[in-house]
Amino acid sequence: MKKIVNKILGIFILSIVAFSCKGPVQDYGELEPLDASKAVVKVIIGSAYPNNPLMYVKANGKRITPKILMRQPYPGGGYGTNGNATNEFILLDNGKTKFELALPKKVDDGTDSIVYHAKEYDLEPGGRYTILFADTAANTTSALIKEDLTIPDSATFRYQIINIIPNVEAVDLYVGRWANGTAATNHTSDFDSLLVSNVKYMEVSEPFILRSGFRRTFKIRPHGAEVVENNVIARYSSSSTSTANYFEYLDRKVLTIFTMGYAGQTSSALMPYLSFSITR
């Protein structure tokens, strides 16, 4: 018994010494890759097909994602998305990088069945990015947006929004009173406030800040449309039954909002969505 106690005491003392040597852990608000010359990238497939196929993305000829669904930020995830709810990125070499969105063969042998889109982007050393794909077949396109991984002030969230709905030229983003569900009958426009105006297709807004700690409903309407519920293209309200699980009750998050799907469609594969990718 004495030997066991002595061993435990020794481990405890070593732990104190090790902690003392390292000093307190600090968050400097800047996420650095292991190699500062590398770039980090997150992938979002916003190409909506009726059968919702599994697709993948390649960089310079190599797959950088597994087979994933549309509306599934990879790696990581978000809110109102497929996938998890973590903030992760893919580490890539800087320089000219050809990204491809492809469909695997029915029996996946590692080769492409269809390459829907290919485009080359120049990744900066230390760059932080999200690449998004939108539309379908020969109309498939992409956008590479820069991400800011610095942490916002306490009790705030930082957002930006990109519109990737092909049949809506531009959207306005509103925030209003929280109500559960997505049906218009559950919501009211009486307290809606305009956050961002005229976000054109495949363009990203300037960042904006909102206080955390409040439940909200986020809504998008066509740019300039009357502020009524019938003009809402898509909305997002957390459906959690516990207020502790509403993401707005977290703190100091960085989120990229993305709109996708097709206005006027009602099937789960094609309908418009308002989703949040976790950046930090």
Residues 6 or more apart whose Cβ sits within 8 Å of residue 269 = 48, 49, 50, 51, 52, 70
Taking only the tens place, the pLDDT of each residue in 26-49 is: 443 455 546 788 999 999 999 999
More confident residue, 183 or 62: 62
Report the chain's mean pLDDT, rounded to a whole number.
85
Whether pLDDT at 121 is above 90: yes
Could you tell me the pLDDT band of residue 239, with boundaries at 50, 70 and 90?
low
What pLDDT score was predicted for residue 5? 39
Q: Which of 148-152, 215-219, 272-276 has the highest mean pLDDT?
A: 272-276
Break the chain into its structural domains and give their ranges.
35-278
Distance CA 234, CA 260 (A): 9
Residue 100 pLDDT greater than 60, yes or no? yes
Binned at pLDDT 50, 70 and 90, residue 20 comes out as very low
Residues 123-146: what's their mean pLDDT? 97
The pTM score is: 0.82
| CA–CA gap between residue 17 and residue 32 (Å, rounded) | 27
Segment 53-79, tens digit of pLDDT: 999 999 999 999 999 999 999 998 888
Assess whether pLDDT exceeds 60 at residue 157.
Answer: yes
